Structure 1
Amino acid sequence: MTVRLRAHHLLCMLTYVGKGYSAAFTDNYDAIVERLSGGEDILLVAGPDDICRPLLGEDGAHCLNASVVERDALAAAAVGGLLGRPLGPGQRIALDPAVLARMREAFRQGTTRRACSECEWLDLCSRVSAGGFTGTKLVCPG
């Protein structure tokens, strides 16, 4: 199977420690991280993805906002630059320990975080990153 992710979630997954918008959201995110940790690859999509699913039934779901689409574009450019290839909808990414470590180090250094500037989770992610990603749920099979 494949996990469908929008580009900015490539950054969010790096610092995910089990916090989110609701219990349904975090339960869903936990299941997705478990799938990724089990070796499933990522298919980049435009718009709402597997992580967004629990939020889509809410009035004014932010997943559809133009600011989130812009966040996706910035994240795709940053992560694509890091991985040395253009990223966009339809592209696949296979996580392995080396890729995850490169992505986390770039995030920690701030080189891939332009997409995060207006995010409500910025402070939490900054603390997780500064703490060496302790307590994060995503691990890679290796």
Structure 2
Amino acid sequence: MTVRLRAHHLLCLLTYVGKGYSPAFTANYDAIAERLSRGEDILLVSGPDDVCAPLLDGPEPHCLNESVSERDRLAARDVEDLLALPIQPGVRLDLDAATLARMRRAFSAGGVRKACCGCEWNELCGAIAAGGFPDTRVQRSAVPR
């Protein structure tokens, strides 16, 4: 299977520790984190993705807002520069251990955080990064599991 992600969720997955907007959101994200940790690939999409799914049934889901699309644009640019790969809808990515480590180093250094400005989770994510990413749910070992 493939995990469908919008660009800014490439950053969110770096610090995800099991906190979210609702119990349904967190349960869904836990399942996605497990799938990514097992090595499922990522298909980049435009707009709501697998992470957003539990929010779409609510009134006025924020994942449809223009500000979220702007986060996607900023994240895509930063991750594209970091990985020297196109980050756009339709592209597939393999989040191997080396790529995950590289993205986390850049996140810690502030190199891929433009999309995080104004996000309600920014402070939590910064603390997780500053602490060395303890208890993050997306983990990849150097060898396939």
Quickly name the TM-score band, shorter chain normalised: over 0.9
**Inter-partner Cα distance in structure 2 for 1:30 and 1:78:** 25
Q: Report the counterpart of residue 10 of structure 2 in structure 1.
A: 10
Unaligned runs of 5+ in 2: none
Shift of 1:92: 0.8
- The number of equivalent residue pairs is 142
Q: Report the counterpart of residue 94 of structure 1 in structure 2.
A: 94
Q: Is 1:77 the counterpart of 2:85 in the alignment?
A: no
**Inter-partner Cα distance in structure 2 for 1:35 and 1:86:** 23
Q: Give the 3-state SS of the residue equivalent to 1:126 in structure 2.
A: helix
Overall identity of the aligned pairs, in %: 64
**Inter-partner Cα distance in structure 1 for 2:92 and 2:110:** 24
Q: Report the counterpart of residue 46 of structure 1 in structure 2.
A: 46
Shift of 1:86: 2.1
Superposed CA deviations along residues 30-60 of structure 1, whole A, max 9, x for unmatched, are 0000000011000000000000000001111
With the length of structure 2 as denominator, give the TM-score of the two structures: 0.96
Structure 1 runs of 4+ off > 6 angstroms?
none
**Inter-partner Cα distance in structure 1 for 2:3 and 2:135:** 22
Counting only pairs closer than 5 Å after superposition, residues 1-142 of structure 1 correspond to structure 2 as: 1-141=1-141, 142=143
With the length of structure 1 as denominator, give the TM-score of the two structures: 0.98
